[in-house]
Structures are given as structure tokens and as C-alpha cells.
Amino acid sequence: MNDTMRLPAAPAAGARFFTGRGRERWSGYAAAAWGFAFAVPSFYWAAGGLAGAESTIAPALVKLAREHDPGFVTVLWVTGVLKVVGALLGLALIRDRAWKRGPNRLLQLMAWGAAVLLVWHGALFVVQGVLVETHVVGLDPELRPVSRWYTYAWGPWFVAGGVAFALAARAHVRRVADRRDATVAGVVGGAGALVLSVVALVAGIG
């Protein structure tokens, strides 16, 4: 008998993306892409660009950007940097080599904190917008176009980012040796972000 043993062919790169390890990676890449893409407007507005701002963000913010308010410009630069950090967090969650216990906990703390903050913030935009669209809450007709941007674009965009970070955090915690401690850190991060969000809402901040 001259039968030869044949090894199964390795799946193509595209196929690997949708199987096994690839399924765990896509959420981290999505979170990273979200962060990098979202940083662009912040840096653009911080540098003085205003194209599209009047129809997509609140008039009060447009006024501050047009006047180059130092405090507001600083906030824009800082938020841009934070969004880049968020993008790097997404990539860190899918790193091939295992992190040590301390970094694993920190990654979970940050990822779940970001996830909760983004989903909360985005959901508020959507809920407030729906209340305006259904005439439960009154709004100046001139502000309705901006309100629709927050309802149908910015709100869902924030929620999508939050979901991406949550999925990336879940994929990450499955691979770590200190799963229990990392999970606790994630719970602390998410709960802390939720408390902070509720306090800010009650205090009328943001």
C-alpha cells in the first residue's frame, strides 16, 4: 500500500479571521479602529478646523471652537489623546503574548470602564433625541438638525464603541491565567464608570 498521510491544509488568512483566534481579535481591532477614527475630529477641531462642525455639534461648542477658547482647545487635544489611548487599549486586549497579572487587571478595569461610559453617554444622546423627536421635550427648531446628529449618529457611534470595548474585554479575560482577579477588576471598572455617569447626570454635568 502506498497510501500517504496528508496533513489538512492550513486555512487561508481570510478564513482564519472568522475562526478560533480570529473571532477573538475582531472586537479588539474594531475598538482600535473606533478610537483612531474618533480622535480625528478632536485633533481637527483643536487645530482650528470647523468644516461640518456647525451642523454636527452643539452651537455652544462651535462658538468656543471658533473663538479658539484656550480651555476648550486644551480639552479637545486631551480628548483626542485619550481616544488614541483607547485605540491602543483595543490593540492591547488582543496581544498574542500573555500580560502579567497587574496589566491584565488594569486592562480589564480600563476596558469595562470605557465600555460603560461610552454606552451610557451614547444612550443618553439617543434617549434625549427621541424625546425631542416625539415632542415630549421642547427644543428650538433651529437646533433640531444638530439634535438629529446626536440622536442618529453620535449616540449610536458612542454605543458601538462601548460594545466593541466590552466584547474585546470579554475575549481578553478568557485567555488570561488570573481570570478571577481580572474579572473583579473589570467589574470595579464598569461599576465605577456607572456611578460616575449617574453622579454627572444628577449634577447636570456633561
- Domain boundary assignment for the chain: 25-203
Helices (H), 93-178: 101-133, 144-149, 155-173
The per-residue DSSP string of 165-192 comes to HHHHHHHHHTT-S-HHHHHHHHHHHHHH
**Which residue type, as a one-letter code, is found at position 11?**
P
* Grid cell at residue 166: 466590552
Helix or strand run (H / E) with residue 153? none
- Grid coordinates representing 129 are 433625541
DSSP code of 3? Answer: -
Q: Are 93 and 111 in contact (CB under 8 A)?
A: yes
Which pLDDT does position 98 carry in this prediction? Answer: 61
Give me the helices (H) in 1-67, please: 13-17, 21-46, 53-56, 59-66
- In this prediction, residue 97 carries a pLDDT of 65
One pLDDT digit (tens) per residue for the chain, 206 residues: 455 445 445 444 444 443 345 556 899 999 999 999 999 999 999 998 888 777 778 888 888 888 889 999 999 999 999 999 999 999 999 886 666 777 899 999 999 999 999 999 999 999 999 999 888 988 888 888 888 999 999 999 999 999 999 999 999 998 888 889 999 999 999 999 999 999 988 887 76
Asked whether 46 and 77 are in contact (CB, 8 A), the reply is yes
Quote the pTM value: 0.82
